[in-house]
Amino acid sequence: MVSLTGSIATGATIISSTADSVKRMHMKLGGKAPMIIFNDADIDAAVGGLRTFGFYSAGQDCTAACRIYAQVDIYDAFVEKLGAAVAIIKCGYATRQSRSWGRMSA
């Protein structure tokens, strides 16, 4: 089994170099999932989604939203609400109710 989380170019190289022996593969290529927030977006829903999907697994997932683009008319409101939402994230012992996530390690 060959597994890679990396660039498309590296994935293509690995796939082509192992093609003669037909290996099982798991490729997570690309990443850097963008989140685009338009002026007519539900800002609270966008903030909630980003708080959930941008921070789980300590953001170490290829689908974690890590590039955020917000249109100028809603930018300030979005940044303010996102800042407030992530400021209350608490990591630690998962058995404590006040924690958002348990401890994480790589």
| Burial call 16-31: b when 16+ CB within 10 Å, e when fewer | eeeeeeeeeeebeeee
| Tens-digit pLDDT profile for residues 47-83 | 998 888 887 766 666 677 878 999 999 999 999 999 9
Q: Once rounded to an integer, what is the mean pLDDT over residues 11-19? A: 89
Residue 90 vs residue 48, higher pLDDT:
48
Query: What is the C-alpha to C-alpha distance for residues 75 and 37, in angstroms, rounded to an integer?
Result: 9
In the chain the domains, ranked by start, together with CATH numbers, are 1-30 (no CATH), 31-106 (3.40.309.10)
Report the SS3 class of residue 102.
Answer: strand
What is the value of pTM for the model shown?
A: 0.64
Percentage of the chain lying above the pLDDT 70 cut: 78
Query: What is the C-alpha to C-alpha distance for residues 52 and 86, in angstroms, rounded to an integer?
Result: 9
Query: What is the C-alpha to C-alpha distance for residues 55 and 102, in angstroms, rounded to an integer?
Result: 12
